[in-house]
Amino acid sequence: MERINLDDAQWIMLMGFIISVGILFLAVIVNQSMLVGQTTAESVLEFPKSDIQDLRSEVRTIKTNWAADPDPAIILGMKEDINVLALQRKNAVINIRGPPDDPNWIIHYNNGVTQYDETIVYWDI
């Protein structure tokens, strides 16, 4: 009858050891993939990409529809609207400079994590 001798047992244990290391390695990869999903989604959620795009689009709308208006109080009021509402609802400091104070449009955005500054010169001044 065949019996387990010391040499064979050593070989089996070595294989078992190698396989356990392999399983441990795979477990680490699965663990990492969970972390990747979370950090990616969190950084996308945290970065105010659409806030800034929205702000730029709003400035463009204000410029197009109101820059030629004879009453400068309208544009000043809208800048004030954005400033006050952003502080209260978006936790962000938004300052917009533009006509009549400045010929260019200057956007300042800061939500504590991300800061964005831009000077825009529109082609159809």
Partner 1 sequence: MVNNEGQLYTMEGIAAALLILFTTYIVLTSTTIITPGETHISDMQLETLGNDVLAIMDTPASASYDAAQTLQFDPSDLETYVNLGTAGAPGFNSRFLALSNAMYDPVTVFKQDRIKCNAKVYYRNANSVGSVDFSGSKNYRENAVVVTRWVNTKTGAINPTRNEPQTVLLEVTLWRE
Which residues would be at the binding site for partner 1 (CB under 8 A)? Answer: 1-4, 19, 26, 29, 33-34, 36-38, 40-42, 44-45, 50-51, 53-55, 57-58, 61-62, 64-66, 68, 74, 77-78, 80-82, 84-86, 88-90, 124
Which positions ≥6 away from 98 have C-beta within 8 Å?
Answer: 59, 63, 67, 75, 79, 104, 105, 106
Nearer to partner 1, 8 or 117 (CB): 8
Residues 6+ apart with CB under 8 A from 46: 113
Query: Closest CB to partner 1 among 85 and 119?
Result: 85
Q: CB-wise, 76 or 104, nearer to partner 1?
A: 76
